[in-house]
Chains A and B, each alone.
Chain A
């Protein structure tokens, strides 16, 4: 599973960098920070969620989605929206 996640993540990062270059857009430092923290939280969510399901702890799996997954999605969405709105404004 982690091999596939690594490939997908690598492709997404490559796509992001290529898009940034082709669109002549640069991210601010806080957009990078929010995005990276969100991504790390998302990866931990996937790890702990699948681990908890593997040990048949369904409540723990759900709690990981709540306490790690939700902030991860919020941070990634925040990073994305800050960038998009800044570009539109410019």
Chain B
């Protein structure tokens, strides 16, 4: 029978109106009410938005298991990036041979107009100029005293939100905070700086830290905090790895950016009446960044322990960490299932031209020996996979640079909806990890052959989509 008039009776209509009213009333009752912007800012809902599948853990309990008793303060020069360290493991002759091969490869590539290493690619990479920066930062002529006001006073929660807002304004994407406890002082803060001046990080009974001729000093009795932040990098540039100045340009942009972000936040802190202790150069921080970025919940550890994965931006992120005396509210480590996924997936290890990433599926506390010697480039106390940093850094220079592990990573994805579905699935249902890893390869994601195609692509400013942080999306 055709229906030419409404079949809803007056009784049904009133019942529906009543139910809708009750529903709206219940929603209003359980929703938070804000009377002004300050109240809104102090609410947990004004926190940093993240995808729903990112779960918080307890403080100092990241997904990569830690044994703090095995840890000790690191010496910044004991990394694979450092030539004398390479020579210690490889021998001086082999180290010199590799550096000569690296210089020859680089010079020849640009002369032969090699794809990914043409003159314009070299120019792009060289364009990432870095300003000189210092531990104490530039002195601001504006201070609370000069303005005739008391120094800024806020709760740690308010300060954290303020710092997050300021840092995003200055160029960061995401910011996590931690308290510098005695444990952090004795285990995580480096003993010596990475710079060639090799200054010692010390804690002294002074009201304010300072930089000496042979030391970088933090105040011992003043409560200190660190805030780690991400500067996401251009995913497509990393996909041009290896042998790519485009990839190098994508990687080194973070240091160029940091060289202006650090003085900005140092000046900001001074005007508030506080101190921000910075890097001595854009590569040289007081606290190893993967450690602090993981502990403050910016992301999780990866199969390549020289890399890190953000649930929102993937593995192509630059990490930095600064120390301050402004009280901050710690942010907890997270679990988005990424470290668990890395235990199944070996895509980065398969792609690595230096074959320096572990293929194991069971992480271990034991740091394996390299070149017949104890691997002093790693600090123990983490149950993970151990990358040979010497092989990585010394080999990749001989082929014009490399970031293939990050470029090919299953998490180095763009904005397509399927990637959000995959991340949510692996976060909640690890039984699909093996299938999802194979699917990533089957669908052809990873590094690209046509390196020069990057120049014709439409890319976001500074290489990352800044809007994703504000809406809590992944990317």
Residues of A within 8 A of B (CB): 47-48, 51-52, 54-57, 59-60, 63-64
With a cutoff of 8 Å between Cβ atoms, the chain B residues found around residue A56 in the complex are 453, 457
Is the pair B444, A47 in contact by a Cβ cutoff of 8 Å? no
Contact at B444–A59, with CB atoms within 8 Å?
yes
Does any Cβ of A come within 8 Å of B4's Cβ? no
A65–B415 alpha-carbon span in the complex (Å): 19
Contact flags (1/0) for B408-448 with A, using CB distance below 8 Å? 00000111111000000000000000000000001111000
* Pair A54/B416 contact, Cβ less than 8 Å: yes
12 inter-chain pairs at a CB distance below 8 angstroms, sorted by A residue, are A47-B417, A51-B417, A51-B418, A55-B414, A57-B414, A57-B416, A57-B443, A57-B444, A59-B443, A63-B442, A63-B443, A63-B444
Looking at chain A's contact residues, is the secondary structure mostly helix, strand, loop, or mixed?
A: helix
Q: How far is the CA of A55 from the CA of B420 in the complex (A)?
A: 14
Find chain A residues with CB under 8 A from B444 CB: 57, 59-60, 63
Chain A residues, Cβ within 8 Å of B414: 54-55, 57
Give Cα A47–Cα B416 distance, bound, in whole angstroms. 9
- Distance (Å) between the CB of A47 and the closest chain B CB? 6
A60 contacts across to B, CB distance below 8 A: 443-445
Q: Which residue of B lies closest to A54 (CB)?
A: B416
Write out the residue numbers on chain A whose beta carbons fall within 8 Å of the beta carbon of B457.
56
CA distance A62 to B361 in the complex (A): 32
Of A56, A63, A64, most B-chain CB atoms within 10 Å: A56
**Chain B residue with Cβ nearest A60:** B443
**A-B CB pair tally, cutoff 8 Å:** 33
Contact A51 B442 (CB under 8 A): no
> B448 — nearest CB in chain A belongs to which residue?
A56
Contacts of B413 in A (CB 8 A): 55
A56 and B442 alpha carbons, distance in the complex (Å): 16
Q: How far is the CA of A56 from the CA of B414 in the complex (A)?
A: 10
- Chain B residues within 8 Å of A52, by CB: 416, 418
Within 8 A of A (CB), among B373-414: 413-414
Do B417 and A48 touch (CB < 8 A)?
A: yes
- Establish whether residues B445 and A57, one from each chain, have CB atoms under 8 Å apart when the complex forms: yes
A56, B415: Cα distance in complex, Å = 11
| Inter-subunit contact B416/A55 (CB<8 Å) | yes
Q: Which residue of B lies closest to A52 (CB)?
A: B416
Chain B residues positioned under 8 Å from A63 (CB to CB): 442-444
Residues of A within 8 A of B416 (CB): 48, 51-52, 54-55, 57
Closest 8 CB pairs of A and B: A59-B444, A51-B416, A55-B414, A60-B443, A63-B443, A48-B418, A55-B416, A60-B444
Nearest-neighbour CB distance to chain B for A72, whole angstroms, equals 16
**Closest partner residue, chain A, to B456 (CB atom):** A56
CA distance A80 to B457 in the complex (A): 42
CA A63 – CA B414 in complex, angstroms? 17
B443 touches A55 (CB 8 A): no
Q: Which residues of B contact A59 (CB under 8 A)?
A: 443-444
A18 and B271 CA atoms in complex are apart in Å by 72
Rounded to whole Å, the gap between the CB of A7 and the closest CB of chain B is 21
List, in ascending order, chain A residues with CB within 8 A of B445's CB.
57, 60
Distance A10 CA – B23 CA, assembled complex (angstroms): 30
- In the complex, what residue of chain B is closest to A59 when comparing beta carbons? B444
Task: Please tell me if the beta carbons of A55 and B415 are within 8 angstroms of each other in the complex.
Answer: yes
